[in-house]
Structure 1
Amino acid sequence: MNQLERNAIKTLNIKSYELIHRAGQACYELARVKWIQAQYWVILCGYGNNGGKGYVIAKLAQAAGIKVTVIACLDKNEILTKENQEARNAWLLSGGIIYNTDISWPKKVDLIVDALFGTDLNSAPVVPYNQLIEKINYHIAPVLAVDMPSGLMAINGTVPGVAVSAQCTLSIIGLKIGQLIGRARDYVGHLYCHNLGLNSFFSDIKTPIIRYDANNLKYWLKTPKSTQYKGDNGRLLVIGGDIGMGGAIRITAEAALRSGVGIVQVLTHKNNVGAIVAARPELMVNALNKEVLQKALEWADVIAIGPGLGKRNWGKDALNIVQSIKKPMVWDADALNLLAINQNYNINRIITPHLGEASRLLGIKIIEIEHDPLSALQSLLKQYGGIVVLKGAGTLIGSITGEIAVADVGNEGMASAGMGDALTGIIASLVAQHFTLLESAYAGCIIHGAAADEVACLRGKRGMLATDIIKLIWKVINPEVFKY
């Protein structure tokens, strides 16, 4: 983003300080709207341009009659940027005071503005920054983070030390990937973005990562034709559910049905057949064996395999047969664990690993993926082909043709068993309905997360089940009757 700012300054002939002032103005205006009654502000300023924005906010607030306490955090080895110095001088000339970090805070504080680091952080905060961050988090006053909550890494959403837990964050010019993935949701709060009036410059720039949310569903999900029949909506084969894991494959199959596929056939362990048919009679269910599998593969338009598949020969044999088929498919769960052992490349496949499965597929530690999820995504694509859905808080979707997107939906209630099985069914259902593999991955992730957000609105996040999400899929896949 810093390079884009420099390009905009050069192209539009804008002074850098003008952008600092616009950003400070935007933050001030947001604070006044969000906390209209707040009259006692503490503003913490660092040495970079983000600190300069803090001084601008302070000057505007003081002019409006707000009692402002500005605390400057500056290590003796740190040098103020030119823009920071200019904003700092303007604050002092207006009669403002700058306090050291060791002062006692005012007894009355009803808003804290974090303007310490922004996007400049590249390591864990050290003294006195870490102490200030801890003090911010301990205080009961709400926090507005300028650009990034201090301590949260803009490049990957990790927190190498401590980080500010903000009630809201105003991202300057554009969103940063670190605001959407990793641990970002624990710190960002409500995320806003302000382009500082640079629409004309950024409108023609293609972003390397696309952000999708529930508002995008209307562009993918068109109203069905009145003359459609079930064959038009595709035939999906789902394979899995070894002994004791029949619930996984039932979740996958039912999620697929609820997402609009025409027909779903389930091949599972013979012990599961009766229970699945009784629970969901719309499903075709058979015991998995080699003969039945061969016929089903000929019948199917799309294959989903992995949920509850297990690692016994029963599942391995099925996967060995499936991997030779040229039809589009979705692999998840134990299919990915087996793929990590017997690796192969397939451009006609979607894989949907969570961090643990991705670590096994790549042979690296989970923490390495957390520190550089984009590189992990690229490595998975290079090694396995097709489409990769790297699941997490801010799921990443990528293709071998270079597209990358983040699904900005979902919530912490989804951290429960069966959620990945439901996602597999949703994505496979869309593939069967003639969406491209990439469209299916995009829309499937958004449907999955948006349905979970609907559950959270109705019943809260704690205790959310995968089957709760399935019951509300209808609400998000019919944009003609349900609008965001």
Structure 2
Amino acid sequence: MTDHTLTRNSTSIPHSVWAAEALRCAEREAADSLDITLYELMQRAGEAAFSLAREIYPDTAHWLILCGHGNNGGDGYVVARLAQAAGISVTLLAQESDKPLPEEAHAAREAWLNAGGVIHSTQTVWPEETELIIDALLGTGLQSAPRENIARLIELANLHSAPVFALDIPSGLNAQTGTTPGAVIHAAHTLTFIALKPGLLTGKARDVVGRLHHHALGLESWLAAQTTAISRADASQLVHWLPTRRPTSHKGDHGKLVIIGGDHGTAGAIRMTSEAALRAGAGLVRVLTHMENIAPIITARPELMVHELTPETLDESLHWADVVVIGPGLGQTAWGKQALRKVENINKPMLWDADALNLLAINPDKRHNRVITPHPGEAARLLNCRTTEIEADRLLSAQRLVKRYGGVVVLKGAGTVVACEAGAITIIDAGNAGMASGGMGDVLSGIIGALLGQALSLYDAACAGCVAHGAAADKLAARFGTRGMLATDLFSTLRRVVNPDVIDVDHD
């Protein structure tokens, strides 16, 4: 079976993302505005797919094309005709149906037959010489598991040694949610048309999309005139969030941050959050924790100011700080609860994570000066539902969290989703499987907290922090791989990432 390990997306793909249903409705409007027929758009899609597949796999001589009974299948018929005209041997298998094909797909099918093409039954034995599989089975309208006959083709494609090139979206992947309700194509490459869809960037997308490519099909001018609430954020944007510092700036200009947590036995969590804040550029970082944690933290990182958490030190620190981070290692005893009760009454930018979120789930409140950073399990507790419900629609879950708790929500996971009360949503296009290890969330809290202290809004700090966090991990993965990555390993690359104006001379 082909290795379908994800290659990170090219920064040439757009940063705007369209809700899948909105894009389906807008496609005809876009074509009409530019005096283009939908059939011409299908021709353009097929031409773009054929050109890219030929570019990536120039030495393949026999293509197997799987066509569904919709417009995604129509794209496949166009690819088949172009491939055959280029001298490539084509075996085309088409799904049978009692329903008529859509008008455009029917025209593409007839063009294939008129060019001497042959349509084989989906029961046909696949030729042994197949070198590339084109997936044109299911498009962006998928809402449920593929039917048995389609699922069988998907499974055969996944088991085959030839790579799979998916048209628009891997068949079986939900274009809006990124869920896979049944069988799903594991593509080596996916070429999506017109605009990005959320399901290509979050949920199970990273397991199945492979390398993602985009083609606007000539609709660039129309797309540029539109607005969408969803966006994609990657490392290329850090330079806009993190400009070069003034030569005369001093530590007071870059934020005074207090970080509260570290119950008995959890010095590691608060230490990682605190050092991450320093590495992300915080001017001054004060830690309030248990007495037993003070010496280990200062020994490990003497630049931190570490004090015992008492009512007096908490009052003084909350008055001193520009930004408050609470939760890493906080615990759920009276010690942590008392600290949280004082923090929740201040009107400064703050971030709540870990046990602060577990306590919030018990006593919900809504405030506009707070970032919360739940993983799916914590999100489920905050919404009093199951984790599977969170993962079933990550964008909707983030919106529900914002509606209930206010401020900004960072729903962590593959394709982290950031949402705010104004309605904007950003999907973070950075990070890798190496981040599936303890302490990564603590590091993220410190990064976002530090950026809050550097004059970024709650939403921008959350987006930039998530990107910097993922980009730092991507630099490590590029050098060492993903297995064995530790949260503290990110400190070595985080400094580079949060200084995007510095040229990376040694490729760390």
Mapping of residues 384-395 of structure 1, within 5 Å? 384-395=405-416
Aligned residue in 1 for 2:9: none
Correspondence for 2:239 among 180, 203, 218: 218
Correspondence for 1:247 among 251, 257, 268: 268
Could you report, residue by residue, the CA deviation over 1:348-383 in whole angstroms, capped at 9, with x for unpaired residues?
Answer: 010011100000001011111112222211111111
Structure 2: how far apart are the matches of 1:150 and 1:402? 30
Correspondence for 2:421 among 386, 400, 411: 400
Correspondence for 2:158 among 120, 132, 137: 137
Correspondence for 2:89 among 45, 67, 71: 67
Correspondence for 2:67 among 45, 55, 67: 45
Aligned-partner SS, 1:70: strand
**Unpaired segments of 5 or more residues in structure 1?**
none
Aligned residue in 2 for 1:380: 401
Q: What letter corresponds to residue 326 of structure 1 in structure 2?
A: N
Aligned-residue offset at 1:122: 1.4
Structure 1: how far apart are the matches of 2:377 and 2:389? 11
Aligned-partner SS, 1:128: helix
Aligned residue in 2 for 1:164: 185
Aligned residue in 1 for 2:78: 56
- Alignment of 1:100 with 2:130, yes or no, is no
Contact 2:288–2:314 (CA under 8 A) maintained in structure 1 = yes
Correspondence for 2:37 among 1, 10, 15: 15
Correspondence for 2:471 among 444, 450, 475: 450
Aligned-residue offset at 1:414: 0.6
Aligned residue in 2 for 1:470: 491
Q: What letter corresponds to residue 201 of structure 2 in structure 1?
A: L
User: Identity of paired residues, percent?
Assistant: 53
Q: What letter corresponds to residue 28 of structure 1 in structure 2?
A: F
Contact 1:349–1:385 (CA under 8 A) maintained in structure 2 = yes
Structure 2: how far apart are the matches of 1:146 and 1:436? 38
- Alignment of 1:317 with 2:342, yes or no, is no
Q: What letter corresponds to residue 189 of structure 1 in structure 2?
A: G
Structure 1: how far apart are the matches of 2:379 and 2:262? 22
Q: Runs of 4+ in structure 1 displaced over 4 angstroms? A: none
Aligned-residue offset at 1:433: 1.1
Structure 1: how far apart are the matches of 2:492 and 2:284? 18
Correspondence for 1:122 among 137, 143, 158: 143
Aligned-partner SS, 2:268: helix
Aligned residue in 2 for 1:155: 176
Aligned-residue offset at 1:13: 1.7
Provide TM-score, normalisation by structure 2.
Answer: 0.94
Aligned-residue offset at 1:74: 2.2
- Number of matched residues? 483
Correspondence for 2:280 among 239, 245, 259: 259
Aligned-residue offset at 1:155: 1.1
Structure 2: how far apart are the matches of 1:329 and 1:471? 26
Structure 2: how far apart are the matches of 1:22 and 1:307? 51
Aligned-residue offset at 1:208: 2.1
Aligned residue in 1 for 2:306: 285
Aligned-residue offset at 1:86: 0.5
Aligned residue in 2 for 1:345: 366
Aligned-partner SS, 1:472: helix
Correspondence for 1:79 among 100, 122, 142: 100
Structure 2: how far apart are the matches of 1:418 and 1:196? 43
Contact 2:282–2:454 (CA under 8 A) maintained in structure 1 = yes
Aligned-partner SS, 2:296: helix
Correspondence for 1:434 among 442, 455, 462: 455
Aligned-residue offset at 1:469: 1.1
Structure 2: how far apart are the matches of 1:226 and 1:74? 69
RMSD between superposed Cα atoms in Å: 1.0
Structure 2: how far apart are the matches of 1:283 and 1:206? 44
Could you report, residue by residue, the CA deviation over 1:167-188 in whole angstroms, capped at 9, with x for unpaired residues?
Answer: 0100100110000010100000
Aligned-residue offset at 1:254: 0.4
Aligned-residue offset at 1:470: 2.0
Structure 2: how far apart are the matches of 1:79 and 1:266? 67
Contact 1:48–1:120 (CA under 8 A) maintained in structure 2 = no
Q: What letter corresponds to residue 60 of structure 2 in structure 1?
A: A
Q: What letter corresponds to residue 105 of structure 2 in structure 1?
A: N
Structure 2: how far apart are the matches of 1:83 and 1:482? 49
Aligned-residue offset at 1:75: 3.3
Aligned-residue offset at 1:195: 0.2
Contact 1:476–1:482 (CA under 8 A) maintained in structure 2 = no
Structure 2: how far apart are the matches of 1:60 and 1:75? 25
Aligned-residue offset at 1:471: 1.9
Structure 2: how far apart are the matches of 1:223 and 1:372? 38
Correspondence for 2:225 among 198, 204, 208: 204
Could you report, residue by residue, the CA deviation over 1:242-300 in whole angstroms, capped at 9, with x for unpaired residues?
Answer: 11111001010000000001010001111111100000010001111111111111111
Q: What letter corresponds to residue 3 of structure 1 in structure 2?
A: C
Structure 1: how far apart are the matches of 2:491 and 2:368? 29
Q: What letter corresponds to residue 237 of structure 2 in structure 1?
A: N
Contact 2:352–2:372 (CA under 8 A) maintained in structure 1 = yes
Aligned residue in 2 for 1:302: 323
Structure 2: how far apart are the matches of 1:366 and 1:60? 46
Aligned-partner SS, 2:288: strand
Provide TM-score, normalisation by structure 1.
Answer: 0.99
Aligned-residue offset at 1:79: 2.8
Could you report, residue by residue, the CA deviation over 1:58-98 in whole angstroms, capped at 9, with x for unpaired residues?
Answer: 0100011001100001233x431111110001001101101
**Unpaired segments of 5 or more residues in structure 2?**
1-22
Contact 2:179–2:393 (CA under 8 A) maintained in structure 1 = no
Aligned-partner SS, 2:111: helix
Aligned-partner SS, 2:148: coil
Choose between structure 1 and 2 for higher RCO, CA contacts under 8 A separated by at least 6 residues: 2
- 367-376 or 232-241, which moves further after superposition? 367-376
Structure 1: how far apart are the matches of 2:448 and 2:196? 27
Structure 1: how far apart are the matches of 2:503 and 2:145? 44
Structure 2: how far apart are the matches of 1:120 and 1:75? 17
Structure 2: how far apart are the matches of 1:164 and 1:478? 39
Q: What letter corresponds to residue 45 of structure 1 in structure 2?
A: C
Aligned-partner SS, 1:65: coil
Structure 1: how far apart are the matches of 2:302 and 2:74? 64
Aligned-residue offset at 1:19: 0.3
Q: What letter corresponds to residue 61 of structure 2 in structure 1?
A: Q
